[in-house]
Amino acid sequence: MLKVEHVTKYYGDFLAVDDLSFTVKEGEIFGLLGVNGAGKTTTFRMIIGLLDKTKGEITLNGKNIDYSVTDSIGFLTEERSLLTKLTVKEQVIYYGILKGMKEEEILAKLDELLAKFNISEYKNRKIKELSKGNQQKIQFITAIINDPKLLILDEPFSGLDPINVELFMNVIKEYKEKGSMIIFSSHRMEHVELFCEKLVVLVNGRSVLSGKIKDIKKEYRKKNIIINGDVKKEELAAIKGVVNVTKTANDYIVKIEDESYVDQVFNYVKKCSNITKFTVEEPSLNEIFISKVGESYEG
Bridge-based pairing state of the strands 223-230 and 273-281: antiparallel
Residue 259 φ/ψ, nearest 5 degrees:
-55, -30
Could you tell me which residues come within 8 angstroms of residue 262 by beta carbon, excluding any fewer than 6 positions away? 223, 225, 256, 280
**DSSP helix/strand/coil, 102:** coil
Region of residue 85 (phi > 0: left; psi between -120 and 50: alpha; otherwise: beta): alpha
| Smallest distance, ligand ATP to C-beta of residue 275, A | 44
Contact present, 31 and 181 (Cβ < 8 Å) = no
Could you give the string, one character per residue 138-177, with x where binding to ligand ATP holds by CB under 6 A and - elsewhere? ----------------------------------------
The residue within the footprint of ligand ATP, chosen from 13, 14, 240, 270 (CB under 6 A), is 14
User: Is residue 16 at the binding interface for ligand ATP, with CB under 6 A as the rule?
Assistant: yes
For ligand ATP, the closer of residues 51 and 82 by Cβ is: 51
- In this chain, which stretch among 30-38, 69-77, 79-87, 141-149 interacts with ligand ATP, using CB under 6 A? 30-38
Beta bridge partners of 186: 33
Helix then strand then coil, in percent of the chain rounded to 5, is: 35, 30, 30
* Member of 34, 74, 96, 148 binding ligand ATP (CB under 6 A): 34
Binding to ligand ATP in span 68-87, by CB under 6 A: 78
C-beta of residue 212 within 8 angstroms of C-beta of residue 30: no
Nearer to ligand ATP, 37 or 100 (CB): 37
With beta carbons less than 8 A apart as the criterion, state whether 204 and 39 touch. yes
State which of residues 2, 7, 29, 39 lies at the interface with ligand ATP (CB under 6 A): 39
* Of 10-18, 118-126, 209-217, 238-246: span binding ligand ATP (CB under 6 A): 10-18
**Based on CB atoms, which residue is closest to ligand ATP, 42 or 164?**
42
Q: Which is nearer to ligand ATP, 125 or 206 (CB)?
A: 206
Residue in 33, 38, 46, 119 binding ligand ATP, rule: CB under 6 A: 38
What is the closest distance, in whole angstroms, from the C-beta atom of residue 16 to ligand ATP in the complex? 4
Helices 88-98 and 132-144 pack at an angle, to 10 degrees, of 30
Q: Write out the residues near ligand ATP by the rule CB under 6 A.
A: 11, 14, 16, 34, 36-42, 78, 187
